[in-house]
Structure 1
Amino acid sequence: MDLTPLLSFLAVDLLLVCVPGADWAYVIAAGVRGRPVGRAVAGLVAGYALHTALAVAGLAVLVAGSPRLLTALTVAGAGYLLWLGWSVLRHPAAPRAADGGADGGAGGFWRGAAISGLNPKGLLLYLSVLPQFLVTEGAHAPVAAQTALLGALHMACCAAVYLTVGVLARRLLAARPRAARAVTRTSGAAMLGIGALLLAQHAL
């Protein structure tokens, strides 16, 4: 595969991943609560692995061609973000050591997978951004292989950025309970805002 579209995709993808959103909000909350950041990030990456698998299988094209299905997935993701954001606002976290709650175990992984798996931003990335960097003419790798490679690059970018964000949130806010609660509330509000915006767009 030509390195030019690969590097171009990497540059665009990094910019998109570095824009705060639901994924950032979740990993920051995990870091502030003292829960395993690696497990939360692994869950987020697993959700994008699902998007990649669907794109490689060609199912993403079917979703793009079905407005009702795309709307249903978007509404489901928005509803989940609203529920999660409200939960975070109701119970803002203070810094503490890793606990044994639901997010401290496998729940943290599955919640992360649900957030990224239902994240409309991720869905649109695979439906509209990624295809622009596929080379369909000349002696290049099959489209499915290119899709898998670009999807793997996206997952690697997510892992690197989200791990950094989660670790920094834990270290910088460990001795600042008020700041930690403020950041957690901001994360919850961000989830609520994103979810409400998505629902409003589909209600119009």
Structure 2
Amino acid sequence: MPVGSIVAFWGVALLLIVVPGADWAFTLGAGLRDRSVVPAVGGLVLGYVGMTIVVAAGIGAFVAENPAALTTLTVLGGGYLVSHGVRTLASRSAPVTATGDTTAETRARTSWATVVQGAGVSGLNPKGLLIFIALLPQFTSPDRDWPLPVQMGALGLVFTFTCAAFYLALGSVTRTVLSSRPATARTVSRLAGAGMIAVGISLIIERIGGGAVF
């Protein structure tokens, strides 16, 4: 597989990642709410690793071509985003500070819950799945040393690791800049929740209404 194809894909993937969406909203919320953004980003990465496996195995193409399966996935994913956005909006907690009084057991339980939530945000996003299906094949090549599933898997991991680096930086910057500005932090957190609700509703409306999911 030509290195040039991987580099070209990375450039396109980065452009897609920096466009705000559900992953952005989730990362911003976690950056303001949690002691560390690592569990949130780890969850997003876990979801994209699962998506990479699905696409490399050929299941993604089946889902994209099966209206019933795609509609089910879209409704589940959209509903999940809406529910998480509602919880974010309803939260009245201020950003976590270094002196917060929580037990190690509580922090561990919260971290695992955040990982699961992140995996749901990225793994249940049908737009992400269709981007993988539409984008990855354009950067593959007829290479006997690199079977197509291996190429798809490699490109999917490039996307995943780029997500990890970008969202770690985004969450860390958000936490650093807004940790001393609780009023602004609450506003950003609520905007993040509203953003997830908007994305979730738009996914459901577009799919049920018969429109394209892109």
- State TM-score, norm by structure 1: 0.93
Partner residue in 2 for 1:25:
25
User: C-alpha displacement at 1:43, in angstroms?
Assistant: 0.7
Partner residue in 2 for 1:161:
166
Contact 1:78 1:199 in 2 (8 A): yes
Root-mean-square deviation over aligned CA pairs: 1.6
User: C-alpha displacement at 1:71, in angstroms?
Assistant: 1.2
Alignment of 1:59-138 (within 5 A): 59-97=59-97, 100=106, 104-136=110-142
Q: Which amino acid aligns with 1:66?
A: N
CA distance in 1, matches of 2:150, 2:128: 19
Unpaired runs of at least 5, structure 1: none
CA distance in 2, matches of 1:197, 1:85: 13
Contact 2:82 2:201 in 1 (8 A): yes
Partner residue in 2 for 1:144:
149
Going from structure 1 to structure 2, the CA distance change for 1:93 and 1:125 (only over 3 Å counts) comes to farther
User: C-alpha displacement at 1:34, in angstroms?
Assistant: 2.7
CA distance in 2, matches of 1:17, 1:150: 14
Going from structure 1 to structure 2, the CA distance change for 1:103 and 1:173 (only over 3 Å counts) comes to farther
SS of corresponding position for 1:94:
coil
Going from structure 1 to structure 2, the CA distance change for 1:10 and 1:173 (only over 3 Å counts) comes to same
CA distance in 1, matches of 2:159, 2:153: 10
- Tell me the matched-pair count: 203
Q: Which amino acid aligns with 1:125?
A: I
Going from structure 1 to structure 2, the CA distance change for 1:203 and 1:67 (only over 3 Å counts) comes to closer
Q: Which amino acid aligns with 1:185?
A: R
Going from structure 1 to structure 2, the CA distance change for 1:21 and 1:165 (only over 3 Å counts) comes to same
- State TM-score, norm by structure 2: 0.89
| 1:27-71 CA distance string (max 9 Å, x none) | 111110133311110110000000111112111121122111011
SS of corresponding position for 1:194:
helix
Going from structure 1 to structure 2, the CA distance change for 1:61 and 1:203 (only over 3 Å counts) comes to closer
Contact 1:32 1:93 in 2 (8 A): no
Q: Which of these residues, 178, 191, 196, is aligned with residue 201 of structure 2?
A: 196
SS of corresponding position for 1:105:
helix
Contact 2:71 2:208 in 1 (8 A): no
Partner residue in 1 for 2:212:
none
CA distance in 2, matches of 1:86, 1:158: 24
Task: Using the aligned pairs only, state the percent identity.
Answer: 41
| 1:172-202 CA distance string (max 9 Å, x none) | 0010001100100110010011111111112
Contact 2:9 2:155 in 1 (8 A): yes
